[in-house]
Chains A and B, each alone.
Chain A
């Protein structure tokens, strides 16, 4: 079993829809949780960064962390075709430096 599980999709939604992306994890040492967006043939781009449990909002994006359930989510409101990409969740522990453990990524397609 992988440390971080993520549904690979693809997830196809119409423009304007609310998108929910999720990851589960097994390592209770993870304290830092990140979401990256990766366009085809590009490097990952950091979208959201959350420490421990709670919610964080940035524009159309909301990240949620539930450490008791070992479950994190990314919500995208008013989705746009330009949001079509692969979304990767990533995590690190308190003293793990910057070693990130990634999920496998969810491919999102937003149709006009």
Chain B
């Protein structure tokens, strides 16, 4: 069973640029969630995708967008990067249907984004 993988590991961008981060879910998982973790803080929920549809969104502006593909891999896109977007971006996968209480979420190692 393969775990959650993310790419790239590190990324450096300048303010105003756009970035795409990628995540491969754990085998058999149909749900992916994205979190932003600023240095010294806990992760904050960005959004979740279930079977290619957005299934919940946190308090993040529309310039944060995502996609989930038929193979359940996912992308996080951030437009018009700001300095405060510098953080560790975590992807987590799980396997359940809609409106469940919770299910074990398996996190990837994250992508560290630095915005200069």
Contact = CB atoms under 8 A, between A and B. Distances in A.
B65 interface: no
B99 interface: yes
Interface of B: 4, 31, 33, 35, 40-45, 48, 50, 55-56, 58, 90, 92, 94, 96, 98-110, 112
Chain A CB count within 10 A is highest, among B42, B90, B99, for B42
Contact of A98 (B41, B48, B58, B108): B48
Contacts of B108: 43
Interface of A: 4, 6, 8, 31-32, 34, 36, 41-46, 49, 51, 88, 90, 92-105
A51 B41 CA distance: 25
A87 B82 CA distance: 29
Task: List 8 A-B pairs, minimum CB-CB distance, nearest first.
Answer: A102-B42, A43-B107, A32-B102, A92-B102, A104-B42, A44-B107, A43-B109, A99-B45
A38 to B, nearest CB: 9
Given A43-B4, A95-B99, A95-B101, A102 B44 contact: yes
A103 B40 CA distance: 11
Contacts of B112: 41
A92 B102 CA distance: 7
Nearest to B57: A99
Contacts of B105: 46, 98, 100
Given A49-B104, A97-B99, A97-B102, 10 more contacts: A42-B109, A43-B108, A45-B107, A51-B101, A97-B56, A98-B96, A98-B102, A99-B45, A105-B40, A105-B42
Chain A CB count within 10 A is highest, among B43, B94, B108, for B43
B42 A32 contact: no
Given A6-B42, A8-B40, A97 B48 contact: yes
Contacts of A41: 109, 112
Contacts of A51: 101
Contact of B45 (A34, A88, A95, A100): A100
Contact of B43 (A8, A32, A88, A97): A88
